[in-house]
A and B are shown apart, each in its own frame.
Chain A
């Protein structure tokens, strides 16, 4: 593994979260299109999403979307201003902190749903 610093990991996580979001959207397209096989098939698959592994997955999705969105703003700041480049390290830690806060809030909200019931 190349010993890069913050920038390398910011890039790596951005790619990873981007791919995860793409996979999540594709799953949406596939599961919604199941309606062509009738309501019963559609509902049978959609009930699966109430199972706990999917609810844990939701926390990861939120983390991925939050990271990708805020790091995207960081990249825009770098592309459009010299200041963005000068403070790229600090801004990455800010992105991580915001992502952690959003993820913790989602976790807090989702624990009852993971334990069972809505």
Chain B
């Protein structure tokens, strides 16, 4: 099918602000948005910049604002977002500084991630084999351990757009993964971090994160669970 791809471009060496550029393309309905961007870069405009690595929805590099919603370019098929003769718009994710074209500075995002102590803490001596966990306990963190840190959720959050100091949904999901891990011992410390004014209370339940997550993590539900854990002091 014939479509127009509209990309929000920005070259810090030439442009003062972002501008749209259109590319006419013939694509297959089963092409992914990533394939379409490759077509533009390889055959029409080699100056186009975007991030991608695995191309299979695991590395989380190619989060973009596709047709008004955050999605992974490698997990979005053309037929799901554009019709014959239609326009496909691609913008960088919001709330983070644009470095070039679709590439944003992810450092503030990873700083928030580092702030929640994203590592297993258990000072008790390790058993001879593994630290066992019951299936029921594993179920508690089943969703939050699926996160690939693509930033689709955090950069879809209206609170994060307005207040960059908010840790954001992705970091809270990561905190949830350890708070609800029965083997971890730093629960109270993490609940303390979540209780700060950059933590869970900034969440105003707009549900954009849940809608945007390419891993189908019920993010708002997990954030609410963390809120209740902070409130009742239990996890």
User: Which residues of A are in contact with B by a Cβ distance under 8 Å?
Assistant: 1-8, 10-12, 14-15, 75, 78-80, 82, 84-86, 88
Contacts and interface: CB of A to CB of B under 8 A. Distances in A.
Given A11-B158, A80-B228, A4 B220 contact: no
20 contacts: A1-B68, A2-B65, A2-B68, A3-B68, A4-B206, A5-B207, A5-B211, A7-B210, A8-B206, A8-B207, A12-B206, A79-B227, A79-B228, A80-B228, A82-B221, A84-B224, A85-B205, A88-B205, A88-B207, A88-B220
Interface in B176-230: 204-208, 210-211, 218, 220-221, 224-225, 227-228
Given A11-B206, A78-B205, A4 B224 contact: no
B94 interface: yes
A5 B70 CA distance: 13
B69 A2 contact: yes
Contacts of A82: 221, 224-225
Contacts of B47: none
B156 interface: yes
B195 to A, nearest CB: 14
A66 B211 CA distance: 27
A63 B225 CA distance: 31
A72 to B, nearest CB: 12
B220 A2 contact: no
B67 interface: yes
Nearest to A15: B204
B228 A4 contact: no
Interface of B: 65, 67-69, 94, 156, 158, 204-208, 210-211, 218, 220-221, 224-225, 227-228
Contact of A79 (B206, B211, B218, B224): B224
Given A2-B156, A78-B224, A85-B221, A7 B207 contact: yes
A88 B205 CA distance: 10
A10 B211 CA distance: 14
Contacts of B207: 4-8, 88
Contacts of B224: 78-79, 82, 84-85
B158 A8 contact: yes
A7 B221 contact: no
Contacts of A88: 205, 207, 220
Q: Which of B210, B211, B227 neighbours the largest number of chain A CB atoms within 10 Å of its CB?
A: B211
Q: Which of B67, B206, B208 neighbours the largest number of chain A CB atoms within 10 Å of its CB?
A: B206
Q: Which of A11, A12, A80 neighbours the largest number of chain B CB atoms within 10 Å of its CB?
A: A11
A113 B208 CA distance: 42
A11 B205 contact: yes
A86 to B, nearest CB: 8
Contacts of A11: 158, 204-206
Q: Which of A2, A4, A7, A78 neighbours the largest number of chain B CB atoms within 10 Å of its CB?
A: A2
